[in-house]
Amino acid sequence: MTGPGLDEEFTAFVRDASPALGRTAWLLCGDRDLAADLVQATLVKTFRAWRRIAPEARLAYARRVLAHENIDRWRRRHGEVAVAEVFDRPDAAPTPDALVAERDRVTRMLAALPDTQRRVVVLRYYDDLSERQVAETLGLSVAAVKSATHRALTALRTHESPEGVSA
């Protein structure tokens, strides 16, 4: 299953993709430890399919696996996880208090969205995927992605005012 070039390729992929996958996982589930578990499960499944995945599609494949792993985790647990702490790049310099407060506000607003809407917003705007890519990743139609995006953005706009006070 492994070969001399395969190990190096996958190791490079893990090194390059893990930070982005980790942030996406955290935004999807709201818990640093669960996010790490999701990324680990994603990388295991990605490695198993490594030879079948076109090089240009590897990150998209991993994102799709990540989204499905999160859905499976949620179905097993039947509940939401409260946001405990802010997860960011491990090598990032400390941010000013205002940026931390804003990140926390956005995270709480995302956590208040229904699961599908949150997944769509995170993949669409945080991971910068197209509507078609989000639809493929989540197994939805493009119309469903557009509808979920509209509903989510409407809810986010009305949920909190810019000052962080509920509307």
pLDDT value of position 152: 92
Whole-angstrom CA distances from 165 to 44, 71, 73, 109 are 42, 31, 32, 12
Considering the domain architecture, whether residues 136 and 154 belong to the same structural domain is answered as yes
pLDDT value of position 92: 52
Say how far apart CA 39 and CA 24 lie, in whole Å. 9
Averaged pLDDT, groups of 10, the chain, 167 residues long: 70 94 89 91 94 92 92 69 52 64 85 92 89 92 94 84 46
Domain of residue 16 covers: 1-88
pLDDT value of position 164: 46
Total count of domains within the chain: 2
**Residues 15/59, Cβ–Cβ less than 8 Å:** no
Q: What angle do the packed helices 131-138 and 58-77 form, to 10 degrees? A: 50
pLDDT value of position 166: 44
Considering the domain architecture, whether residues 110 and 124 belong to the same structural domain is answered as yes
Token pair in block for residue 142: 């493009």
pLDDT value of position 70: 86
Q: Which of 56, 88, 120 is the last residue of a domain?
A: 88
pLDDT value of position 114: 92
End-to-end, the C-alpha distance of the chain in Å comes to: 55
pLDDT value of position 61: 94
Considering the domain architecture, whether residues 15 and 66 belong to the same structural domain is answered as yes
Considering the domain architecture, whether residues 81 and 4 belong to the same structural domain is answered as yes
Considering the domain architecture, whether residues 84 and 105 belong to the same structural domain is answered as no
Considering the domain architecture, whether residues 64 and 104 belong to the same structural domain is answered as no
pTM over cut 0.75: no
Rounded (10°) CA dihedral 45, 141, 56, 61? -10
pLDDT value of position 98: 75
The amino acid at 83: V
